[in-house]
Every structure is written in structure tokens, then in C-alpha cells.
């Protein structure tokens, strides 16, 4: 491994290392999404996020019209440990325009 | 190792453990091991109306693999310490 804070991306986890202390997007199993500041992670993708917004998406079928009704539930959590086995993807900083 | 050490330092504090079956249990963190199995004391289920069968449970062991989230106490998070630990871990610690 090279220098202290190498800015190059050699392996996938480097991308996440460079996102430390930045707001990231995390997609999880069971239709959950998180947006929050990445404070720590390990090779399993266990993570600690700060100022987290969780969005849960549920789809219901209307009894009469059989239309799909998509509902989203949001909640905010100050500090959250996320177990890595539920993680589907991690996307680096959502840069403000 | 990072999160094992982190949770060891958190022993004695109140946390809310949310499981993959949506059950959320709040309690005092008693101990943790390398698999991030968790033992909680003075537990109560967050949504007691939905899970009344857990009313009498006061202590429990939670297998690490069924945990989805752990909601952490705000004063139990030293952000700078975590950043350093995460970088060390990424370098192959």
C-alpha cells in the first residue's frame, strides 16, 4: 500500500475510503435507502453513519383497481451503525451543485 | 476489529438494536463479541403493541447476523477517532 492518504482508486473499497466524512447514499435489502455522513466502515461494509435519513419504500396493490400504490416512509436518526450484510450498494458523495 | 473495539467502548450505554425482522429492542449494552453478537440488559421492545409477547423479556442475547441497525447514543460517537480508525482499518489493520 502507498502513502498516508492516497487519492487514487485501486480497489473498490478505496472509493468508500475517499468518502469518509462525506454524505453518501446506501441502498439496502428490503427496499431501504440511507443518506448520511460516513464516519467509519470496514471490509464487510459495516458502517457508522451520522445525520441519517432512512427511506423505506413499500408497494401496495389497491383492492379494487389493482393499481400499485407506492409509499415511502422517512425517518431521521442521529447516529446509526449499519450491519454490512444488508448493503447492496454504496454511492459516493452527493455533491451540492 | 474496528466495530468490535467500538462496541466494547460503548458497554454500559443505552442503545436501540433493530433486527432484520423489524423488531426493535432498546436496552443497556452489556457485552459484545467478535461476531458482533450483542447482550442487552433492562430491555424493552420499542413497539410493545405490535410485539406484546416480548413484554416479560428483560435480558437478551442477540445473534450478530440478525442485526440490521444499532442506533447509537450521540455522545458515544467520537467522529475524529472513528475516521482515524477507519483509515487504519482500510490500510489493512
| Contact criterion met (CB < 8 Å) for B68 and A86 | yes
For residue A96, name the pLDDT band (cuts at 50, 70, 90): low
Tell me whether residue A77 is in a domain. yes
Which of B73, B87, B84, B85 has the alpha carbon at shortest distance from B4?
B85
* The residue count for chain B: 93
Query: Residue A76: beta bridge partners?
Result: A53
Q: Compute the distance between CA of residue B78 and CA of residue B74 in angstroms, rounded to an integer.
A: 9
Q: Residue A32: CB partners within 8 Å, gap ≥ 6?
A: A54, A55, A56, A57, A86
Above 70 in pLDDT, residue A95?
A: no
Interface test with A, best of B68, B84, B93 (most A CBs within 10 A): B68
B73-82: list long-range contacts, CB under 8 Å, 24+ apart. B73/A79, B73/B10, B73/B13, B73/B14, B73/B15, B74/A78, B74/A79, B76/A79, B76/B9, B76/B10, B76/B13, B77/A39, B77/A48, B77/A50, B77/A79, B79/A21, B79/A39, B79/A50, B82/A39, B82/A40, B82/A48, B82/B6
For residue A5, name the pLDDT band (cuts at 50, 70, 90): low
Query: What is the extent of the structural domain holding A24?
Result: 12-91
Can you give the pTM of this predicted structure? 0.89
Above 50 in pLDDT, residue A3?
A: no
| Contact criterion met (CB < 8 Å) for A80 and B69 | yes
Q: Residue A22: CB partners within 8 Å, gap ≥ 6?
A: A37, A38, A92, A93
Task: Please report the pLDDT score of residue B12 as a whole number.
Answer: 95
Which CATH number characterizes residue A57's domain? Answer: 2.30.30.100
Tell me whether residue A97 is in a domain. no
| Contact criterion met (CB < 8 Å) for B86 and A20 | yes
Residue of A nearest to B66 (CA): A83
- What confidence tens digit (pLDDT) does each residue in A38-87 have? 999 999 999 999 999 999 999 999 888 999 999 999 999 999 999 999 99
* Domain B2-91: assigned CATH number: 2.30.30.100
DSSP, collapsed to helix, strand or coil, labels residue A1 as coil
Residue of B nearest to A30 (CA): B20
User: Average pLDDT, stretch A24-44?
Assistant: 96
- Domain spans in chain B, listed from the N-terminal domain onward: 2-91
Task: Please report the pLDDT score of residue B31 as a whole number.
Answer: 97
User: Average pLDDT, stretch B38-44?
Assistant: 96
Question: What ipTM was estimated for this complex?
Answer: 0.93
For residue B53, name the pLDDT band (cuts at 50, 70, 90): confident
The bridge status of strand B38-45 relative to strand B60-62 is antiparallel
Above 70 in pLDDT, residue A4?
A: no
- What confidence tens digit (pLDDT) does each residue in B71-80 have? 999 988 899 9
- What confidence tens digit (pLDDT) does each residue in B1-39 have? 899 999 999 999 999 999 999 999 999 999 999 999 999
Above 90 in pLDDT, residue A1?
A: no
Task: Please report the pLDDT score of residue B43 as a whole number.
Answer: 95
Q: Which residues does chain A have within 8 Å of residue B78's beta carbon, measured at their own beta carbons?
A: none
Flag whether residue A22 sits within 8 Å of chain B, measured between CB atoms. Answer: no
Above 80 in pLDDT, residue A94?
A: no
Tell me whether residue A4 is in a domain. no
Which of B68, B72, B87 faces A17 most closely, judged by CB atoms? Answer: B87
Amino acid at each position: 500500500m502507498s502513502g498516508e492518504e492516497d487519492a487514487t482508486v485501486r480497489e473498490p473499497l478505496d472509493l468508500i475510503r475517499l468518502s469518509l466524512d462525506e454524505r453518501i447514499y446506501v441502498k439496502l435489502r428490503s427496499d431501504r435507502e440511507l443518506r448520511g455522513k460516513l464516519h467509519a466502515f470496514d471490509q464487510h461494509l459495516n458502517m457508522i453513519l451520522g445525520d441519517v435519513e432512512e427511506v423505506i419504500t413499500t408497494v401496495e396493490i389497491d383492492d379494487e383497481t389493482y393499481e400499485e400504490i407506492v409509499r415511502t416512509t422517512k425517518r431521521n436518526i442521529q447516529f446509526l451503525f449499519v450491519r454490512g450484510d444488508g448493503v447492496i450498494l454504496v454511492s459516493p458523495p452527493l455533491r451540492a451543485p | 476489529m474496528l466495530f468490535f473495539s467500538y462496541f466494547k467502548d460503548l458497554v454500559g450505554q443505552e442503545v436501540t438494536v433493530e433486527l432484520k425482522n423489524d423488531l426493535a429492542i432498546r436496552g443497556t449494552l452489556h457485552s459484545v463479541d467478535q461476531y458482533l453478537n450483542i447482550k442487552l440488559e433492562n430491555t424493552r421492545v420499542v413497539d410493545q403493541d405490535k410485539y406484546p409477547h416480548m413484554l416479560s423479556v428483560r435480558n437478551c442475547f442477540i445473534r450478530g447476523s440478525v442485526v440490521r441497525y444499532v442506533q447509537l447514543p450521540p455522545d458515544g460517537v467520537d467522529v475524529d477517532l472513528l475516521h482515524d480508525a477507519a483509515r487504519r482499518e482500510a490500510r489493512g489493520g
